[in-house]
Amino acid sequence: MKNKNYNNMDLEELSEFIESIGEKKFRAKQLFQGIHKNKYYGIDEFTNFSLSLREKLKKHGNIVPSKIYNKLESKLDKTRKYLIELNDGNIIESVYMEYSTHNTICISSQVGCKMGCTFCASTKQKFVRNLEPYELLNQVYTVQKDIGKRISNIVLMGIGEPLDNYDNIIKFIKILSNKDGYNISLRNITLSTCGIVPKIYELAEENLPINMTISLHNPFDNERKKIMPIEKKYNIKEIVDSTKYYFEKTGRRISFEYTLIEGVNDSYKHALELRNIIRGMNCHINLIPLNKIREFNENSSSKDAINKFKNNLEKLGLNATVRKSLGQDISGACGQLRAAHIIK
Ligand code: SAH
């Protein structure tokens, strides 16, 4: 019974627990609201509970925080990168980005990553472990507390592959969107995946219509295989079919991410094949200039080449935008995040 982690429990689990210690069920909702709506960080902040109830709760468990280990602020824009220390000393990164109409936090889903994409820093250290729901939630709450305003959008695009940590991600989304908690709209959550096909089908059935974006980067199987090992397991046609199903089930438009690498995937032939594979889909293409990481020697396509690629896609009838790279000076841009370990 000891050592419950209250901020890792959904309302149902809290209700069961509260009843098991002989308390009234409505206390579970108050506990849930305190953690997820009011962002109480300790049981003592629950002044709506009697002292004896607080003592009882402390005896059985606690609310486990995550700490800000370091914070880097971009000089180029309002981006901030947070190094967040977990209870076991591992460090992950979350990035806060501000726009004129909204703000977004990019959160990590794992400590390290198994996917091995050649151009991505997040996968260069070895995979350590999945993040628990409370560690996903803490990224949002800790950063929100630090900036002092509500975060409106969440993107699961930091370190790790979210669909490789499926159950925890689902629980996180359910808790975060609960109306008694943070109450975020599912429309404001975006999950990015390298294409774990069976999990895309599974997510389509969850009745959680979040936005889905697929890291594609190349429309040819044999070329994609060279930069994204997951392609050996699930090919492009299988991925595209699963996203069509996801769209049918959820009504959420699919996006494809396409990182432009000079001389590798930026030719007219690539634009044409990209059109062929997603023809007729209601989708969007996010073009991302390659961000530099030390382990990958290729260069980003030039500004001109990127614009040319975009124009070609548009002439072929596709919607494409070039993603503005934020936080490059603090290694906070796409693909630049890494898990670190504190050596104590
Ligand atoms: N594992 C998930 C989410 C993390 S990566 C996924 O693969 O989608 C978030 C996005 O940044 C992905 O589209 C990824 O392919 C892209 N990315 C990775 N490294 C990059 C780099 N060096 N430059 C630009 N984009 C990169």
Atom of ligand 1 nearest to the CA of 291: 23
Task: Inform me whether the pLDDT recorded for 1 exceeds 70.
Answer: no
At 2 the pLDDT is 58
Q: What is the mean pLDDT of residues 225-240?
A: 97
120 lines ligand 1 (CB under 6 A): yes
At 69 the pLDDT is 96
Atom of ligand 1 nearest to the CA of 325: 24
How far the first Cα of the chain sits from its last, in Å, is 30
Q: What is the mean pLDDT of residues 7-25?
A: 97
335 lines ligand 1 (CB under 6 A): yes
At 337 the pLDDT is 74
What is the Cα–Cα distance from 208 to 257, expressed in whole angstroms? 21
Q: Which of 123, 257, 266, 292 to mutate to test the pocket of ligand 1 (most atoms within 8 A of CB)?
A: 257
The single residue of 93, 132, 161, 231 carrying the catalytic annotation is 93
Sign of CA dihedral 236, 239, 243, 249: positive
Please, what is the average pLDDT of the chain?
A: 94
DSSP state of 125: S
CA-nearest residue, atom 15 of ligand 1: 215
112 lines ligand 1 (CB under 6 A): no
At 247 the pLDDT is 97
Judge if pTM exceeds 0.85. yes
334 is catalytic: yes
CATH code: domain 4-62 is 1.10.150.530
Domain ranges within the chain, ordered by starting residue: 4-62, 67-330
Percent of all residues in the chain with a pLDDT value above 90, rounded to a whole number: 86
Atom of ligand 1 nearest to the CA of 214: 8
At 343 the pLDDT is 45
Q: Residue 50: exposed, middle, or buried by beta-carbon count in 10 A (0-12, 13-18, 19+)?
A: exposed
Task: Inform me whether the pLDDT recorded for 144 exceeds 80.
Answer: yes
Tens digits of residue pLDDT in 252-297: 999 999 999 999 999 999 999 999 999 999 999 999 999 888 888 8
120 is catalytic: no
CATH code: domain 67-330 is 3.20.20.70
Tens digits of residue pLDDT in 67-108: 999 999 988 888 999 999 999 999 999 999 999 899 999 999
Task: State whether residue 214 is helix, strand or coil.
Answer: strand
